[in-house]
Structure 1
Amino acid sequence: KNKNKQGVTTTASGLQYEVINPGERAKPGATSTVSVHYTGKFIGGVTFDSSVSRGTPLTFSIDGVIAGWIEGLQLMSVGAKYRFYLHPKLGYGEGGRTNIPPNSLLIFDVELLEIR
Structure 2
Amino acid sequence: MSAALPQVSGSFGEKPTLTFPDAAPSPELEVTVLERGDGEIVEAGDDIEVHYLGQSWGGRVFDNSYDRRSSISFGIGVGQVIAGWDEGLVGQQVGSRVLLSIPSHLGYGDRGVPQAGIKGGDTLVFVVDIVGTRR
Q: Give the aligned CA root-mean-square deviation in angstroms.
A: 1.7
Q: Distance in 1 between matches of 2:125 and 2:64?
A: 12
Partner residue, 1:15: 29
- Is this contact kept in 1: 2:53–2:128, CA < 8 A? yes
Unaligned runs of 5+ in 1: 6-12
Partner residue, 2:9: none
Superposition map of 1:22-101 within 5 A? 22-62=36-76, 63=78, 64-97=80-113, 98-99=115-116, 100-101=118-119
| Structure 1 pair 60–82 and aligned structure 2 pair: CA distance change class (3 A) | same
- Paired residues in the alignment total 108
TM-score by length of 2: 0.74
Q: Distance in 2 between matches of 1:41 and 1:113?
A: 20
Identical-pair percentage: 33
- Greater helix percent: which structure? 1
Unaligned runs of 5+ in 2: 6-26
Q: Distance in 2 between matches of 1:107 and 1:72?
A: 12
Q: Distance in 2 between matches of 1:107 and 1:36?
A: 15
TM-score by length of 1: 0.85
| Structure 1 pair 44–4 and aligned structure 2 pair: CA distance change class (3 A) | closer
